[in-house]
Amino acid sequence: MRQIYYTIQILLRGRGGNFIKLMSLTLGLLIGILLFSQIAYELSCENFYKDPERVVQLRCRRVRDGIPDKEYDYSTYRPAAADLWEALPDLIESASLSVNFYRPDFYINDKKLDDVETMFADTLFFHTIGLDVLRGDPKELGTPLCAFLSQSKARELFGDEEPMGKTLSMGKMMDITVRGIYQDMPGNTIYPHNIVVSLPTLEEYLFGRGTWRSMDIYNVFYRLKTPEDVEAMNNRIQKAVERYTETKEGTDILEFSVLPLPDIYLSTPDTVRRLVILGVLGFSIFFVSIMNYVLAAVASFGRRAKAVGVHKCCGADGTHVLGMFIVETGLMVLASIVACLLLMYLFREGIEDLLQVRLAELFTWGNLWVPGLTVLLLFLVAGVLPGRMFAAIPVTQIFRRYTDSKRSWKRGLLFVQFIGVAFILGMLITTVWQYHDLMTRSVGFGTERLAVGRYHMDDPEGVEDAIRRQPYVESVARNSNSLIAHYSTTPLVDPQGNFLCPLHYQNMTKDFPQVVGMKLVEGSWPEHVGEALIGRKVVETLKWGDKALGQRLPIDPKWIGLDSQATVVGIVEDVRNMGFFMEQTCTAFILSDSRNFAYNVRLKEPLDENLARLNAFVKETYPKAALEFTTYADIQRQNYSEVYRFRNTVWITSLCIFFIVLMGLVGYVNDETQRRSKEIAIRKVNGAEVPSVLRLLSVDILKVAVGAVVIGTGFAWYVSGVWLEQFADSVSPSPVWFLLLALLLLALIVLLVVLKAWRIANENPVLSIKSE
């Protein structure tokens, strides 16, 4: 109890310094806990199913000349579920089909529902995947126009009312009846859903039924009899597939395999790369905050040495002194935990939006070991390291001035902090640069003031003309789908029949290319049905050179509503339909009178006001049409939301670590100026001017800062390159930016030293000498 009393008294006497230490620990602990918990949360992806190690997903990749593609395709063919179950009954307990790429809008009484995640699945989906059905019979999923809701979604939509038998409107085209309720899905899954619609609804009313080698849109899952059957299935699966379909395409081979569901998330290099960088960011701010606390403790040696000597004269040994300091650190850590909890409560919505996960899911009982271990590590390092130094102070310090300044320790700790702040700020340059580049880089057409909406009918009731007549509309034209999306595809092959790549194609109306702002490179705009535009990439891939015009596209005419194959009449700049995470695709746009479901509207200024007017007009005039417009700029923002959130994460981390290092630097300069006040006074008595004194202190700090800043910015440049590898055709910031960052950071450090040392440099030297 006496140790606690003394500790509290010490804390009360050093209120200003303790507040700085508390702020440093709180910021480091908050960001560290959030980032480390996010990493642990994502590493446990798909582990909530029953026996998740027994659930596997079918995947395939192309092997060309004996060299397999790096990336797997996890969407495949419909018959694979039943056929492979039939071929491997000794390994497979059940098989299931699902489709998750199509996300229709749902309505209740013409009100659009928010936060709806849709999955289309068959009757064995819940058993195969390992989710509990709370009410209803899963066999209902074999009937069209039926659905199961998650428990929380049913409660959200219907409250205390009975959800069974209620109807939802899917796209205002068909009514879906609720036939069951299933357990809630946590957020750490790559296949989120809160409504499961029967697969026959999708196949009979929208896309048709897939076969081997057509419509590879299905996710095929198997529940194996034992986890050890994964390897056995992979050894036999290729021959099993060959019993039902041809796996060769020219000299290429389609290679099939399965992967346990929990392993899929970490199977992509981009995911691993992002988690590693998040870990580096979290460790950087966490470690810097600890070092800042230790630096503040070491800086107080000169002031607290006599107090330690007094305790030792009164019978305390090194263990007691160490215990007293550990108690002090424990109280500071406890206060910082309380501050962290308060900040999480106050900024809960912003944190959840940033991390894209509810805090209640992030800090479950199974995940609490992460913040617990983080706090323990903070306590041990921040308490034991300086505590042992205090315990080693000799008892004789009560009789004389303590002269050990621990300069090597202080400089070393400051060196680590400078590395951390330089690294984080370097990453900030990259993320800001990359997001700006993604949002401003050309996508092959003019996105300015361009909005798009989709309706699953070919211009019912003359919607296009009605929109065109509105005074706030500049122009309108239709095509099959949003230009920034996955189009319909067909294989492109060379003259020997070898697969080259998929051709992404869409139908369009006559004036569509001009309305959306495509750039014609060669040829002319299509004037007649069956004429087509292609991107530059198609010409390069098929090696048509200057003979592209007049060529026939290898697209089955029935899929585009034509009687014969489309003919190329023009070449345009490539449209970046799959964004910048993937390589440029081959694209084609065919003039056709059918299957033009997307309305592209070029609005006049002001954009936001006119977009709202357009949506209000459509809703009022065509209440039964599920047609809602959004701008392509918003679509791009949504597609790059993960980049946006990562950028914001780095922003927040940068601000916090800069503040922590700033506090550490201020404490160091204050300590040094106090410790060297007599030296400075003597120099001034001997004729030294204020600039020379400031230069002395600045050079002293630059000896620490220059090397640290160079290391930190160099490491940031390297990690930035790793981060940018996930973007196709990525453009790295110029090294000049990192050089400017290093110079600016060094200038700020010197400026802070000058500001803090200005008073002591201008002080009357007699005052310092007289106090000796």
Residue 661 has pLDDT above 50, yes or no: yes
**Per-residue pLDDT band at 735 (split at 50, 70, 90):** confident
Q: Which residue do the tokens 């000796």 mark?
A: 772
Q: pLDDT by residue (tens digit) across 461-516?
A: 789 999 999 999 999 999 999 999 888 888 888 877 778 888 999 999 999 999 99
Q: What is the 3-state secondary structure (H, E, C) of 53-109?
A: HHEEEEEEEEEECCEECCCCECCECCCHHHHHHHHCCCCEEEEEEEECCCCCCEEEC
Q: pLDDT by residue (tens digit) across 682-695?
A: 666 566 666 776 77
Mean pLDDT, rounded, of the chain = 85
User: How confident is the model at residue 404, as a pLDDT?
Assistant: 47
Q: What is the mean pLDDT of residues 93-114?
A: 91
Residue 156 has pLDDT above 80, yes or no: yes
User: How confident is the model at residue 15, as a pLDDT?
Assistant: 47
Q: Is 332 in contact with 25 (CB distance < 8 Å)?
A: yes
The closest alpha carbon to 488, from 506, 500, 501, belongs to 506
* Rounded Cα–Cα distance for residues 154 and 108 (Å): 13
Greatest mean pLDDT among 61-75, 174-188, 493-507 lies in 174-188
User: How confident is the model at residue 274, as a pLDDT?
Assistant: 86
**Per-residue pLDDT band at 16 (split at 50, 70, 90):** very low
How, if at all, do strands 598-603 and 450-454 pair? antiparallel
Task: Reply yes or no: is the peptide bond before residue 623 cis, omega within 30 of 0.
Answer: no
How, if at all, do strands 567-572 and 531-535 pair? parallel
Nearest-5° angle of CA 731, CA 737, CA 742? 140
Q: Is 339 in contact with 22 (CB distance < 8 Å)?
A: yes
The closest alpha carbon to 499, from 255, 214, 251, belongs to 251
User: How confident is the model at residue 415, as a pLDDT?
Assistant: 86
User: How confident is the model at residue 391, as a pLDDT?
Assistant: 60
Name which of 299-313, 483-497, 608-622, 657-671 the model is least confident about. Answer: 299-313
Residues 362-389 as b or e (16 or more Cβ within 10 Å = b): bbeeebeebbeebbeebbebbbebbbeb
Q: Is 75 in contact with 219 (CB distance < 8 Å)?
A: yes
Q: pLDDT by residue (tens digit) across 341-367?
A: 999 999 999 898 888 888 988 888 888
Name which of 85-89, 154-158, 266-270, 506-510 the model is least confident about. Answer: 266-270
For helices 269-299 and 641-675, what crossing angle results, to 10°? 20
